[in-house]
């Protein structure tokens, strides 16, 4: 699991680097637009493509560390021993959902391999594959958390955020 954790950290770091570069591009574009009246062409497209990478590369690490928003309205009721299957079920349903998202994103990518952006003429498929990859990795994270929740003793929480 330590290797998997390290892999997820690398993905999150890549997401952060992309976000930093996107912010730098946006600030520089605004500066060039208002100071020199010379904005960059394609900044909007680069930002759109970058957002897919930022979100889907960081999503699995956020889920792995328990960084997603959670509301504990029913925690007291769900901590009963006969209801301990619910967190595992939720994780498995989430894993199935993100596996379907990855599968559908793959099919969409294959159907639109020749599609390019309007301004920069960049192909869409690398960024769509990022969505596929990120959704698949998050599905794996949710599956692992589901297994951990299913194995957990009543009133015991696992060490990876579930």
Report pLDDT for 44.
93
List per-block mean pLDDT (blocks of 10 residues) for the chain, which spans 162 residues: 96 98 96 94 94 97 91 71 82 97 97 93 95 98 95 61 50
Report pLDDT for 120.
93
Report pLDDT for 155.
54
Residue burial 19-34, b: 16+ Cβ < 10 Å; e: rest? beebeebbeebeeeee
Report pLDDT for 159.
53
Instruction: Determine the Cα–Cα distance for residues 46 and 43; give it in Å rounded to an integer.
Output: 5
Report pLDDT for 154.
60
**Contact status, residue 133 vs residue 60, Cβ threshold 8 Å:** no
Strand partners, 116: 123
Neighbours of 108 (CB within 10 A): 15
Burial of 87 (0-12, 13-18, 19+ CB in 10 A): buried
- Where do the domains of the chain lie? 2-151
Report pLDDT for 37.
94
User: What DSSP string runs through 49-79?
Assistant: HHHHHHHHHHHHHHHHTT-S----TTHHHHT
Report pLDDT for 161.
52
Which secondary-structure segment (H or E) carries 119?
Answer: none
């Amino acid at each position: 699991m330590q290797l998997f954790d390290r892999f997820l950290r690398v993905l999150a770091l890549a997401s952060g680097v992309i976000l930093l570069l996107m912010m730098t591009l946006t600030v520089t574009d605004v500066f060039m637009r208002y100071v020199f009246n010379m904005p960059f062409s394609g900044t909007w497209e680069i930002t759109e493509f970058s957002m897919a990478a930022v979100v889907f590369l960081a999503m699995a690490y956020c889920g792995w560390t328990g960084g997603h928003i959670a509301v504990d309205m029913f925690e007291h009721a769900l901590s009963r021993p006969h209801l301990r299957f619910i967190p595992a079920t939720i994780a498995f349903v989430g894993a199935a959902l993100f596996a379907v998202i990855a599968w559908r994103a793959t099919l969409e990518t294959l159907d639109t391999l020749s599609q390019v952006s309007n301004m920069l003429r960049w192909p869409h498929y690398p960024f769509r594959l990022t969505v596929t990859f990120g959704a698949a990795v998050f599905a794996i994270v949710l599956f692992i958390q589901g297994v951990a929740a299913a194995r957990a003793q009543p009133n015991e929480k696992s060490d990876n955020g579930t």
